[in-house]
Amino acid sequence: MADHYEVLGVSREATTDEIKKAYRRLARQLHPDVNPGADASEKFKLVTHAYDVLSDAKQRQKYDLGPQAGFDGGGAGNFGNFGDIFETFFGGGGGSTRGPRSRRERGQDALIRVELDLDEIIFGTHRDLEVDTAIMCETCSGTCCRPGTSPITCDICHGTGSIQRAVRSLLGNVMTSSPCGSCRGYGTIIATPCMTCQGQGRVRARRTVPVDIPAGVDTGLRLQMPGSGEVGPAGGPNGDLYLEMKVRHHDVFSRDGDDLLCTLEVPMTSAILGTSVTVAALDGDIEVEIKAGVQSSEVLTIKERGVTRLRGAGRGDLRVGVQVVTPTRLDHKERDLIEQFASRHAAPAPSLSQFQQGLFAKIRDRFRG
């Protein structure tokens, strides 16, 4: 710890006027506006702190008595800690600088919504998406300068990106640093900006982004494409592109997890006698076997004809809910035949049973039961 008297170059018996004269002489030599060197800045802080202590009668008395009087010295060893405190509040301290900041910054992330048909998510699909985004300026290649020119060093901060100032505080004069207002902390100035990008290093344009959308995605799912977002200022690294999925409504098929659901309307005669029918699924024709006596709300399961699982192997199932269709218009001959059938098969009278909200409510109950 430096002795305050030695720092000011006076004896311990020096008067207040002698201490003041010594401080003024050294301050004129070491002031940052006169002597901008780092070594001079450190000495100026020591001189200022020594004067603050010795110019105050009570502080000087405590200092002369030593640590037993409760004075910790406040010398160069502790001043570094004060510098850290002032760096937090003032953006710099202790004469330290962090250097100029870079013009190159990471670009922003982008979010676009992609609408898909139900059949596209079974096996996945490919899309070429047109994205309105920021791309690197081809004229200056991200330098922000007109071709043939380059940034020039700021003549205010001399390339440091910051300005140092002496701030009066309870601890004396403390050197703080703040971003240079002339170059905005970059340390350089674009004297001749690129005419194409106006000195930004990037321009707005439409870009085609090829995307392979995996099978099994669902509405609300977001896919991240690292490095496919906007180019940053001054040709900085790209942000990320996020794709939010939305699956369009399908008139025939619906989805329940990895399973596909549909309804098969079966004529009453086919339900009684049984039949085989070919139906057009989303991924091709399927042969469905209708057993004789099938009832409405029964579920026929066709394995591995649902949606491909997003994470994992295999596919879900296709679940076909049977709905027996009763004819509403009969001619006389058809009615006679039905009556003959009814007379030969005595059926129980209609009776109340549990209420069902609908066919698929009943089907889903069976799925989960």
Q: Annotated binding residue at 157?
A: yes
- pLDDT of 131 higher than 80: yes
Whether the CB-CB separation of 291 and 277 falls below 8 Å is answered with no
Task: Count Cα neighbours of 16 within 13 Å in the Cβ-side half-sphere.
Answer: 9
Q: Annotated binding residue at 145?
A: no
pTM of the model: 0.63
Q: Annotated binding residue at 144?
A: no
The helix/strand count (H/E) of the chain reads as: 9, 15
Q: pLDDT digits over 188-204, tens only?
A: 999 899 999 999 999 99
Structural domains of the chain ordered from first start = 1-59 (1.10.287.110), 102-132+203-248 (2.60.260.20), 253-346+353-368 (2.60.260.20)
| CB environment 9-46: b (16+ within 10 A), e (fewer) | ebeeebeeeebeebbeebbeebbbeeeeeeebbbbbbb
Q: Annotated binding residue at 197?
A: yes
DSSP-assigned states of every residue in 95-130: T----PPPS--PPPPEEEEEEE-TTHHHH-EEEEEE
Q: Annotated binding residue at 140?
A: yes
Q: What is the pLDDT of residue 33?
A: 66
Q: pLDDT digits over 217-247, tens only?
A: 999 999 999 999 999 999 999 999 999 999 9
Q: Which of 104, 109, 99, 3 is nearest to 60 (CA)?
A: 3
Q: pLDDT digits over 319-337, tens only?
A: 999 999 998 888 999 889 8
